[in-house]
Amino acid sequence: MLHVLTQSPFVSDINLIINMIDKNDYFLAIQDGVIISLKGNIFINLLDSTRCSLFVLQEDLIARGIMHLVSKNFKIINYTEFVHLTIQKRKQLKW
């Protein structure tokens, strides 16, 4: 499954999201959700515990001026790679 976080993690039910993620899932942060990808934030350890693949959308990082602050745990992807994720994981949840 592809989990897409579009809102800030501070206004999302992160514990619910974490409980829904399986190690074979993909987690993608876009729009205001990219905040979750910042180095040293309080959500990184929770996401790491899921052992899923973590992605963040490059264009949204650039728009917010935070490209240089992304945790090494996240793979930065572009829109083309985003489309490939949606093809690989037909089931999706938007948070």
Sign, CA dihedral 68-70-76-78, equals: negative
d(CA 55, CA 37): 8
Sign, CA dihedral 23-29-32-35, equals: positive
pLDDT band for position 68 (cuts 50, 70, 90)? very high
Mean pLDDT of 64-75: 97
Each residue's pLDDT tens digit, 31-61: 999 999 999 999 988 999 999 999 999 999 9
Taking Cα atoms as reference points, which of 91, 95, 83 lies closest to residue 12? 95
pLDDT band for position 4 (cuts 50, 70, 90)? very high
d(CA 50, CA 18): 7
pTM: 0.94
Mean pLDDT of 64-77: 97
Mean pLDDT of 69-93: 96
**Average pLDDT score, the chain:** 96
